[in-house]
Amino acid sequence: MVVLGIESSCDETAAALVADDRRILADTIFAQIAEHTPFGGVVPEIAARAHLDHLDETIAAAMRQADMKFADVDAVAVTGGPGLIGGVIVGVMMAKAIALAHKKPFIAVNHLEGHALTARLTDDVAFPYLLLLVSGGHCQLLVVEDVGRYQRLGATIDDAAGEAFDKAAKLMGLGFPGGPAVAAAAAQATNPVRDLPRPMKGRDDCNFSFSGLKTALRQRVEAMRAADAFDDATRANLAAGFQAAVVDCLIDRTRHALEIARAAHPRLSALVVAGGVAANQHLRGALQQLATRYDLPIVAPPPRLCTDNAAMIAWAGIERLRRGETSGFDYAPRPRWPLDSTAPALAGAGVKA
């Protein structure tokens, strides 16, 4: 089975062809960085229009890469939510049109499920596993028990971790996207700032919060600017301090989640990390140490498959289709779509589900 996957829920316009034996036959991404850079963040209406402008060509490029025609495809999978709704609508309409015209099954998949199951595409990880999902739009800890069975142990109550990196970079004048910019500045630090707060650390739930850390950083930056002391060296030291604080919070919350997950699932197979922030080398190193302490393998898919992409959507589609599931052509795009519908709703900018 070969599935065409389409992703357009944030600022990546992406298409991929994936086979059910875990081969990625094509994987194309048009990243809208230039469109959003002047604003220092993703502007939903600009994103929706850019998806409309680029999705045709992105899909055509994927078909060329795999040297396939629509007739060769067995089904069309698309992100049906959660995400920026204009973009989700563009993708869903496109997927329905292709499926209808070529008489193929259509399946709308949850974007978060795409991230959650990527480790099965890349590393064939067995259920159950603990997933730390950290990106610009999501920050959650989930036990992935099976396809469609997720237990959310914690999530952010305000900003997502990647969003915090992006806002910190903007505050320090480091550019967009913020994560790689903060990491690059941090690498130049000679004396990292050590006393930034670690919100939620030690709490006995598994939730995250980054807004207090961001406020503390803003106060530092403003004070230094006022004292005319905000030079490159100071900026690097602040960036390193900020990065260390975020990593510390993520590790503390993940450690707590591991305890809970292990108690409930003694046969936990791995600690999996996904999402754009998983590209952060400090985080990867710290997670590796944590997993070793719990005698678990750590699975971190390559950065290209950690950030938003369509291969993960095609793969989630395959996992669902293999179970005989499809969606109807009356499927309605969803701005919010929690993976764990039993978990209480959380209100916050970084919470799409």
Q: Does 280 bind ligand KG4 (CB under 6 A)?
A: yes
Q: Which of residues 130-149 bind Zn ion (CB under 5 A)?
A: 135
Q: Does 87 bind ligand KG4 (CB under 6 A)?
A: no
Q: Does 166 bind Zn ion (CB under 5 A)?
A: no
Is residue 208 helix, strand or coil?
strand
Instruction: Determine which residue in the list 50, 117, 277, 290 makes contact with ligand KG4, applying CB under 6 A.
Output: 277
CB of 265 to ligand KG4, least distance (A): 26
CB of 234 to ligand KG4, least distance (A): 20
Instruction: Determine which residue in the list 118, 135, 207, 327 makes contact with ligand KG4, applying CB under 6 A.
Output: 135
Q: Which of residues 140-169 bind ligand KG4 (CB under 6 A)?
A: 162-163, 165-166
Q: Does 163 bind Zn ion (CB under 5 A)?
A: no
Q: Which is nearer to ligand KG4, 183 or 300 (CB)?
A: 183
Amino acid at 31: A
Q: Does 118 bind ligand KG4 (CB under 6 A)?
A: no
Quote the tokens at residue 209: 């919060």
- Picking from 143, 125, 102, 156, the residue whose alpha carbon sits closest to that of residue 22 is 125
Instruction: Determine which residue in the list 11, 27, 163, 308 makes contact with Zn ion, applying CB under 5 A.
Output: 308
Instruction: Determine which residue in the list 94, 183, 196, 310 makes contact with ligand KG4, applying CB under 6 A.
Output: 183
CB of 11 to ligand KG4, least distance (A): 7
Q: Does 301 bind ligand KG4 (CB under 6 A)?
A: no
Q: Which is nearer to ligand KG4, 63 or 283 (CB)?
A: 283
Query: Per DSSP, which regions of the chain are E strands?
Result: 2-7, 12-19, 24-31, 75-81, 106-110, 129-134, 139-146, 149-155, 271-274, 298-299
Contact (Cβ atoms closer than 8 angstroms) between residue 353 and residue 160: no
Torsion angle in degrees (nearest 10) through CA of 6, 45, 334, 280: 60
Instruction: Determine which residue in the list 178, 317, 338, 350 makes contact with ligand KG4, applying CB under 6 A.
Output: 178
Q: Vertex 82, ends 54 and 200: CA angle to 5°?
A: 125
Number of chain residues interacting with ligand KG4 (CB under 6 A): 20
Backbone angles phi, psi at 270, to 5 degrees: -170, 165
Amino acid at 8: S
73: CB partners within 8 A, 6+ apart = 2, 3, 4, 17, 102, 104
Residue 57 Cα distances to 15, 62, 105, angstroms: 10, 9, 22
Site string for Zn ion, 312-351 (x = CB under 5 A): ----------------------------------------
The helices-and-strands tally (H runs, E runs) of the chain is: 11, 10
Residue numbers of the site for ligand KG4 (CB under 6 A)? 10, 135-137, 162-163, 165-166, 177-180, 183, 275-277, 279-280, 307-308
